[in-house]
Structure 1
């Protein structure tokens, strides 16, 4: 039953992001020592590692970059304290990004892997594959 609860929490987290939640309100999904690992991708060629404070800050910054975003979960699989999610993401730019104009619809395919501790996300690893622009 725990893995089902973990899958539900991931779905709630992705919906909260889509709804525009950011900063402190996202803290409810994570342990205090949570980390997010972003593997290299088109937006972040070197990848990165963020602690919870950095994740909250980046989510606030993202609110200014995107006027809307959505996640469509294609599959979610749980095994104990781990969840793997395949999702399609669409984000609409609120400001220009490089040569991309306001209103441009970015699209990406995500493989996200979550590790849970005490019912909260302790580790999130993202493999993000963006469509060309």
Structure 2
């Protein structure tokens, strides 16, 4: 049975939910991968990460979040692109602004993944956080 890009995208989200970070995430990404996070409540100016920084930041995120969940609301696969509409919930491991450790953050997310050779080449996130 062949694996589709959508299958890989869903396995990637499951790995994130299961706490995968750093080198455990590397197999999902093409060596030339770039992630673009558009401006949101946490990243006011947005940011772009190449693979090395993306993996390092995923390790850092484990110290900030005790867990995260991705509820997939919709998917679309066309050629080498997968679009995901996701409701994200993250539980804080540490205080953030006015929120105590243990509080939950929520965001409606649009994720657009482009694949090359069965691995994520680019990831674009549009994260709409609920006010906090």
Aligned to 1:107: 106
> The residue matched to 1:110 in structure 2 has which SS?
strand
Aligned to 2:78: 79
Unaligned regions of 5+ residues in structure 2, if any? none
CA distance in 2 between counterparts of 1:132 and 1:40 reads: 14
Residue 37 of structure 1 pairs with residue 42 of structure 2: no
CA distance in 2 between counterparts of 1:101 and 1:120 reads: 37
> The residue matched to 2:25 in structure 1 has which SS?
helix
Per-residue CA deviations over 1:22-67 (Å, capped at 9, x if unaligned) read: 0001000000010000000000010010000001011000101011
CA distance in 1 between counterparts of 2:8 and 2:87 reads: 18
Unaligned regions of 5+ residues in structure 1, if any? none
4+ residue runs of structure 1 moved beyond 4 angstroms? none
Task: Give the count of matched residue pairs.
Answer: 132
Per-residue CA deviations over 1:103-124 (Å, capped at 9, x if unaligned) read: 1011001000011101100000
Residue 6 of structure 1 pairs with residue 9 of structure 2: no
Q: How does 1:1-133 map to 2 (within 5 A)?
A: 5-133=4-132
TM-score by length of 2: 0.97
TM-score by length of 1: 0.96
CA distance in 1 between counterparts of 2:97 and 2:129 reads: 15
